[in-house]
Amino acid sequence: MTHDEPVPKKAPDIADEMAEPPKETASRRDWMFMVGTAVNVAAGLLLLVPLAGYVFSSFVQHKDPRDWISLGSLDDYPEKTTRLATYRNPFTRPWDGKTADIPCWVRRLSGNQFQVFAINCAHLGCPVRWFQPSGLFMCPCHGGVYYEDGSRASGPPPRGLFQYDYKVENGELWVKGGEMPTLANPV
């Protein structure tokens, strides 16, 4: 610095203010801090409402996702047989691919008498398989076994297989599907 910088003209004014500080400063700062904190808490809560609502929408929306779906003609299910059927989940997204194809076991007793079992084991949701010769459903995960009518035969399941509501209309079998069955929501 070889040359003198011009002295700021305001300097004396600032010095005057410093000499006589406003008497209310401390409480004014306290007030600013408290109000500032309060408005931020309020604003933060405002921000939280849409965020939490978005993420936890399952607790807010109670719309039943289920709908009637056709499993095809009755002729596909001969009497006294159990067959695997698949349907496209009614609430599907364009990027779902194969995962929205849901399997289920259809047992036709006679005429319009059916039992439609969810694929998910009542124990922990693994896919049960049907064994015609022994008339049993068996689960590969923890060894749950069910009789052909879906009742529990052995292993850890706490109940029989989950069953879909069904109806017969226009020569077709319809089931009410759309939600993964669990103990909290047995179809």
Partner 1 sequence: MKTLKNIAVWLDDRLHLTALWASSAGHEVPASSGSWWYVFGSATLLCFVIQVLTGICLAFVYVPSTNEAYTSLEYLNHAQFWGWYLRAVHYWGSNMMVAFMTCHMIQVFLFGAYKYPRELTWISGIFLLLCTLALSFTGQVMRWDQDAYWGLGIGASILGRIPLIGAQMVRLVLAGPIIAGETLSRFFTLHVFVIPGLIMAIVAMHLRLVLAKGINEYPRPGYKVHRATYDADYADLIHKEGVPFVPDAIGKDLIFSAFTIVLILFLAFVFGPKGPRGIPDPTIVDTSPQPDFYFLCIYAALALLPDWMETFVMFFAPAAGILFLLALPFFAGTGEKSAKRRPVAVLSVILVMLVIVTLAWFGLTVPWSPHMNAWSGDAIPAQFLAGRTPLEMHGAIVLQNKQCRDCHALGGHGGHRGPALDSIATRMTPDLMVRQVVQGGGNMPAYGKKLSPAEVEALVAFMRTLRPQSTPPSRDSAPPMNRLPRDFAVVVPPHTAQATIKK
Of the candidates 34, 37, 102, 31, which has an alpha carbon nearest to the alpha carbon of residue 66?
A: 102
Q: How far is CA 21 from CA 3, 8, 14, 15, 24, in A?
A: 34, 21, 10, 10, 9
Residues 60-79 that bind partner 1 (CB under 8 A): 65-66
Q: Two tokens at 155?
A: 């292993």
Q: How far is the CB of 159 from partner 1 (least distance, A)?
A: 10
Secondary structure percentages of the chain, helix, strand, coil, to 5: 25, 30, 40
Q: Measured from the CB atom, is 29 or 142 closer to partner 1?
A: 142
Query: Is 129 an interacting residue with respect to partner 1 (CB under 8 A)?
Result: yes
Query: Is 59 an interacting residue with respect to partner 1 (CB under 8 A)?
Result: yes
Name residue 163's amino acid: Q
Pick from 74, 83, 115, 156 the residue near partner 1 by CB under 8 A: 156
Footprint on this chain of partner 1 (rule: CB under 8 A): 55-56, 58-59, 65-66, 84, 86, 89, 91-93, 95-103, 119-120, 123-129, 131, 133-136, 138-143, 145, 147, 153-158, 178-180, 182-185
